[in-house]
Amino acid sequence: MSALTILSLPNELLIAIAAAGQEDISTHSSTAQKVEWTLSRLCRRLRNTVVGAPTLWTKIEVSCDRLKDLAHSQRFSEILRLYLRRSVPLNVAVFLRERVGDSEPLTDWIIQVAAEINRVKWLSVVLASAEDDFTQEFAPLRCLAAPNLLHLEIANISVESTGRRPLELFSAGARKLSFARMYGCFPSPIPPWVSTLTHLQIENGSHQHFHSAADEMIYLSLIRTQPISLVYLHLDISMNFNTLPTDYQIHIPSLEFFAVYIDDTEGQEYLRDIMDFVDCPALTELVVIGSHGDQLLFVLNMSRFPRSSFPVLRSLSLINLDGCSCEQDMPHPTRTLSSHSTPLFPALSSLVIINHCFTPQLVKEIMGTEALPWPSLRTLTLCPSENISGVRSAVGDAVRQTPQSIPILRLSRALLFPLDWFEGRLDAIEVFDPEEVVKPFSGY
Q: Which residues are at the interface with ligand NAG (CB under 6 A)?
A: 103, 127, 129-132, 134, 137, 156-163, 165, 184, 204, 206, 301, 327, 336, 338, 360, 387, 390, 394, 443-444
Q: How far is the CB of 308 from ligand NAG (least distance, A)?
A: 17
- Binding-site size, Zn ion (CB under 5 A): 4
Smallest gap from residue 87 Cβ to ligand NAG (A): 27
Torsion of CA 330, 331, 335, 339, to 10 degrees: -50
Q: Which does 127 bind (CB under 5 to 8 A by kind): ligand NAG, Zn ion, none?
A: ligand NAG
Q: Supply the minimum distance, in Å, between the C-beta of residue 294 and ligand NAG.
A: 9
Nearest residue (beta carbon) to ligand NAG: 390
DSSP state of 52: T
Binding status of residue 362 toward Zn ion by CB under 5 A: no
180 SS3 class: strand
Closest CB to ligand NAG among residues 40, 77: 77
Asked if 360 and 327 count as a contact pair (C-beta separation under 8 A), the reply is: no
Could you give the CA distance from residue 142 to residue 119 in angstroms, rounded to a whole number? 17
The nearer residue to Zn ion, 2 or 334, going by C-beta atoms, is 334
Which entry of Zn ion, ligand NAG, none binds 360, CB below 5 to 8 A by partner kind?
ligand NAG
Q: At its nearest, how many Å lie between ligand NAG and the CB of residue 6?
A: 44
Q: How many CB atoms lie within 10 A of CB 228?
A: 21
- Determine whether 24 is exposed, middle or buried from the number of CB atoms within 10 Å of its CB (0-12, 13-18, 19+): exposed
Report the residue number, 33 or 338, with the smaller CB distance to ligand NAG. Answer: 338
237, 210 contact by CB (below 8 A)? yes
For ligand NAG, the closer CB: 360 or 368: 360
Determine which helix (DSSP H) or strand (DSSP E) holds 438, and give its type and residue range: helix 434-438
Window 279-338: residues binding Zn ion (CB under 5 A): 292, 324, 326
Q: Residue 326 binds which entry of Zn ion, ligand NAG, none, with Cβ cut-offs from 5 to 8 Å by kind?
A: Zn ion
The listed partner (Zn ion, ligand NAG, none) that binds 438, CB under 5 to 8 Å by sort, is none
Task: HSE, CB side, 13 Å, CA atoms: give it for residue 96.
Answer: 32
Please give the Cα distance from 291 to 248 (Å, whole number). Answer: 21
CB of 194 to ligand NAG, least distance (A): 21
DSSP letters spanning 144-191: ---TT--EEEEEE--SS----EEE---TT--TT--EEEEESEEE-SPP
Residue 38, CB half-sphere, CA atoms under 13 Å: how many? 11
Question: Of Zn ion, ligand NAG, none, which one sits near residue 162, judging by CB under 5 to 8 A according to partner kind?
Answer: ligand NAG
292 binds, among Zn ion, ligand NAG, none (CB under 5 to 8 A by kind): Zn ion
Residue closer to ligand NAG by CB (options 31, 336) is 336
Q: Which secondary structure element, helix H or strand E, spans residue 200, and what is its range? A: strand 199-203
| Rounded distance between C-alpha atoms, residue 205 and residue 238, angstroms | 11
Torsion of CA 345, 351, 356, 360, to 10 degrees: 90
**Closest separation between CB of residue 246 and ligand NAG, Å?**
21
Q: How many residues does the chain have?
A: 444
Closer CB to ligand NAG, 9 or 157, in the complex? 157
Q: What are phi and psi of 56, to 5 degrees?
A: -80, -5
160 binds, among Zn ion, ligand NAG, none (CB under 5 to 8 A by kind): ligand NAG
Rounded Cα distance, 151 and 149, in Å: 6
Q: Which does 131 bind (CB under 5 to 8 A by kind): ligand NAG, Zn ion, none?
A: ligand NAG
Residue 373 to residue 363: CA distance in whole angstroms: 14
Q: Which does residue 206 bind out of Zn ion, ligand NAG, none, counting CB within 5 to 8 angstroms by kind?
A: ligand NAG
Contacts with Zn ion by CB under 5 A lie at 292, 324, 326, 357
